[in-house]
Structure 1
Amino acid sequence: MFRVEPLREADARAILTWRYPEPYEFYNPPDGGRDDDYVHAFLDPDLQFHAVRDRELMLAGFCSYGLDGQVPGGDYSDEALDIGLGMRPELTGKGHGAEFFKAILLHGTAVFAPDHFRLTVAQFNARAMRLYEGFGFREQSRFEQRWVTYSVLTRSAD
């Protein structure tokens, strides 16, 4: 079981140390000594970042609700709550995705009461696409940004 709660500075700093294996290294936080800038962004209340914790209250991942879930170049003209998320690398691919994502959706519904949810997903991430489609998300559009093709997926919040 997972729960969603406010993200703390220690969580943000931990996330910046995460490293994903190929082909998911695309999601690795950037190196380059700008950690404080990224921590500041994680803690910006306008970006609505949250920690996702496991039953032992260990940081299992994070999510965001709102603008952070959008990728430049996508069509976000329809009303929907954008979700961004990431799971701790050593937990990925072990069957936790559905429970993890369900906690994020339930929290989003309880706090924001949206009519629709929206995700923007890199097309190569077939594992994530299968998970989201299993939750009823359907592709609304595709676009390319910096040599990566993205799908914009939506579903009703009902």
Structure 2
Amino acid sequence: MTYKFEIMTQDQAKDIAYNWHYDGEYSFYDMEADKEDLEEFVNPETRGNSVYAVTNNSELIGFFSVNKVDDKISDIGFGMRPDLTGRGNGLEFIKEGMKFVKNEYKPEKITLSVATFNQRAIKVYRNFGFKDVKTFRQATNGGIFEFLRMEYEC
């Protein structure tokens, strides 16, 4: 696949927010599962210029968000289109996203947080080279959930 990263448009944000629905326990990642996250994602002002649409041959396949914590650390979040998950595409998607973040933001360290039930994603992150830092609990989606903080040394 050839990945292209561009600032997300409003139409792309709405498509992801309202049309992307994951199966089973992964529905946790549906944008509509958390009203505050949904409102932030579909509002161009709060989304800003740090959320990127990921396309392949002009087809929307995912998104990447980058929060520059400081000059040395960038925190990322991302998602793949539901029909592409669980099919062995994750490592390539992460590799391309990490290459983009390294080139654009030049961090020394990249961090991310993932729900601990999502062992499928955690395995991909570890295979890429992310290291476990700590677990923590966070209120989201109408409850309190455990997350794993991971980091990657560039």
Same fold (TM over 0.5): yes
**CA positional deviation for 1:40:** 1.2
Other-structure match for 1:71: none
Establish whether residue 26 from structure 1 lines up as the match of residue 28 from structure 2.
yes
Establish whether residue 9 from structure 1 lines up as the match of residue 10 from structure 2.
yes
| Residue segments in structure 1 that go unaligned for 5+ positions in a row | 68-75
Q: 1:98 aligns with which of 80, 91, 97?
A: 91
**Secondary structure in 1 aligned to 2:43?**
helix
Matches within 5 A, 1:1-158: 1=1, 2-16=3-17, 17-30=19-32, 38-41=41-44, 44-45=47-48, 48-54=50-56, 56-66=57-67, 80-146=73-139, 147-157=144-154
Cα distance between partner residues in 1 of 2:111 and 2:61:
22
Cα distance between partner residues in 1 of 2:13 and 2:145:
26
Indicate how the Cα distance of structure 1 residues 121 and 31 shifts in structure 2: closer, same or farther if over 3 A, else same.
closer
Aligned-pair Cα RMSD in Å: 2.5
Structure 1 segments, 4+ long, off by >6 Å, are 31-36
CA contact under 8 A between 2:131 and 2:150: conserved in structure 1? yes
1:87-111 residue CA offsets vs partner (Å, 9 max, x unmatched): 0001101111111111110110111
Q: Which is further off, 118-127 or 33-42? A: 33-42
Cα distance between partner residues in 1 of 2:46 and 2:80:
18
**CA positional deviation for 1:38:** 3.5
**CA positional deviation for 1:31:** 6.7
Q: Percent identity?
A: 31
**CA positional deviation for 1:33:** 9.1
**Secondary structure in 2 aligned to 1:93?**
coil
**Secondary structure in 2 aligned to 1:144?**
strand
| Residue segments in structure 2 that go unaligned for 5+ positions in a row | none
**CA positional deviation for 1:43:** 6.5
Q: How many matched pairs?
A: 146
1:55-108 residue CA offsets vs partner (Å, 9 max, x unmatched): x220001010007xxxxxxxx89x521000010001101111111111110110
**Secondary structure in 1 aligned to 2:132?**
strand
**Secondary structure in 2 aligned to 1:132?**
helix
Indicate how the Cα distance of structure 1 residues 31 and 95 shifts in structure 2: closer, same or farther if over 3 A, else same.
closer
Cα distance between partner residues in 2 of 1:57 and 1:100:
16
> Under a length normalisation based on structure 2, what TM-score does the superposition of the two structures give?
0.85
**CA positional deviation for 1:112:** 0.3
